[in-house]
Amino acid sequence: MYDFETLVGELLQNRPELTREELLRRIEDKKQKVGAGYLTDQGALFLVAGELGVSLRKDEGTSDLTLKDLYIGANDVTVVARVLAVYPTATYNKKDGGTGKYRRLVLFDGNQTVRMTLWEEGAEEVEKRGIATDVPVRIVSGYVKQGLDGKPSLNLGRRGKIEVVSDEKVSAKLVPLSSVTEKLPNLSQEKQFVAFECRVTSEPRFSEFVRADGSSGSLFQFGAAGEGGKGEVRGVVWSPSARPELRKGQKLVITNVKARRSSSGEFEVHGDAGSSMTLKQPEKTMLRVATAVDGQTKVLLALDKTGRVVEVQVGEGVESRRAGDVIAVMPNGESEGKVYCSDPDSLKLAKDDSFPGLEDLATKLRDVKDEGHKIMVEVIALSQGSVDEVQLKDGSTVKKGELVVGDDTGEMKLVAWRELSGKVTGVQPGERLRFVGVTPKPMKMGGRVLEASYVTVVERLRGRA
């Protein structure tokens, strides 16, 4: 690394007629005029030293620089960073005739990125060395020019080389992609993302087109949203290098993209041939089965260790499980509160003596919160289940079932709308009940109710209390 204060002292020692204040003023002036705001202090210092005829030395400890050390005009630099984007090889027309080739990469170090171009034979090293997204690399004997955006752009010619960093101590100091991957937020401004994680909300579409200059292009688009379906946007990747087979509900990590407004004024996320799209493999989840719902598809209602109800949709060929079983789930897909197990390996019977029993996973009424997910409660009916016709704001009428329930921590009303109202019909005061898959909802006047859904299962527990 370069030590700024040491280099300042070295320059002042070589130019004793120059004061420290004057040197710092020259450094700041150089940053503003030459670096367009992108030169670091030490980068500007090297340029000032060059104008004064002073050759500054590097720290003898290491020759490796990081991206923040790069400055426009630097030569023979060695840089370590991770790869963010790899673009296809392209060609150009040489001034003296013939064609040459080049390949662009984007390097990252934390949230800082730098574009890089490998010229001629260097373009072939990407495949030869297995260079891909998130791989740590060392660029040897590179040079820095000003890019079209005014920022430093790293270049590698015939004298230089690119290599994969094999020293674990060096690579451990480089921030991995997972550490800078963001959850897709509600977009409110144009922004460059190193990488973000989203959930696919629509089936992808691929199309090809011809540009005005006669060249061909392609477009890969899909719906994307953050956790809980927040901030749904259109994702667009232009001329993608690869197209993953996406399904609604899958988690996706996409790199090297930017948020920008469409012609209609809505925000979209755009990538290009250097963007990578990687499906995030679901993590194994341990659940305890509460009950099963039979319909056109088999659905298990199971609980995690926090008492949250998860809908597990079981495909053909996947062995279903009984109430009380602990299962290990590696879903083939998922959406909010629901997972899909379509192959035999995605759902297995497990043994976990530490997993709470069903009775311990029931949520007490005092602990019910408005968190938008389904829970299980074990209660006593305090009223008779009733069904009435209620009028909505639009003038239509619907059925509404109501039941007051309680446990040793409090009381609460349970409601079931429309065709679900039958779930409370026939319930008598004093009956002990287990409701699996009810959702807490806030009331306008304060407090909460429990609302039944199409998957809610009502179980009678050992008759009346």
In this structure, are residues 454 and 420 in contact, taking their beta carbons and an 8 Å threshold?
Answer: yes
- What residue segments make up the domains of the chain, in order of their start? 1-61, 63-175, 177-279, 285-349, 362-464
pLDDT at 250: 80
Q: What does the angle CA 30 – CA 32 – CA 37 come to, to the nearest 5 degrees?
A: 120
Residues 369-399 have pLDDT tens digits of 877 789 999 999 999 999 999 888 888 999 9
DSSP 169-194: HHHTTSPPHHHHEEEP----S-EEEE
Half-sphere exposure of 51 (CA within 13 A, CB side): 9
Give pLDDT, residue 294.
67
- pLDDT score of 61: 41
More confident position, 465 or 415: 415
CB 23 within 8 A of CB 49: no
For 382, the 3-state DSSP assignment is coil
Q: Name the band, by pLDDT with cuts 50, 70 and 90, for residue 57.
A: low
Output the 3-class SS for 265-312.
CCEEEEECCCCCEEECCCCCEEEEEEEEECCCCEEEEEECCCCEEEEE
pLDDT for residue 34: 65
Quick one: pLDDT at residue 316? 77
Q: Residue 159 corresponds to which tokens in the numbers above?
A: 């004298």
pLDDT in tens, 261-291: 888 888 999 999 999 998 877 778 899 999 8
Q: Which residue has the higher pLDDT, 51 or 372?
A: 51
Look over the chain and give the mean of its residue pLDDT values, rounded to a whole number. 86
**CATH T-level assignment (fold) for domain 285-349:** OB fold (Dihydrolipoamide Acetyltransferase, E2P) (2.40.50)
Rounded to whole angstroms, how far apart are CA atoms 324 and 123?
58
Rg, Å, the chain Cα set: 31
> From the CB of residue 244, how many other CB atoms can be counted at a distance below 10 Å?
17
Confidence at 96, pLDDT banded by 50, 70, 90 = confident
Q: Give the pLDDT band of residue 60 (cuts 50, 70, 90).
A: very low
pLDDT tens by residue, 146-169: 888 888 899 998 888 899 988 888
Total-model pTM: 0.58
Residue with tokens 């480089």: 174
Per-residue pLDDT at 100 exceeds 50: yes
Q: What is the pLDDT of residue 59?
A: 45
Supply the CATH classification number for the domain 362-464. Answer: 2.40.50.140
pLDDT at 293: 77
Sign of CA dihedral 380, 382, 385, 391: negative
Q: Which CATH architecture has domain 63-175?
A: Beta Barrel (2.40)
List, as one string, the DSSP characters of 311-341: EEEEPTTSPP--TT-EEEE--SEEETTEEEE
Could you name the CATH architecture of 177-279? Beta Barrel (2.40)
Cα dihedral across residues 416, 420, 424, 426: positive or negative: positive
Domain pair 63-175 / 177-279, same fold: yes
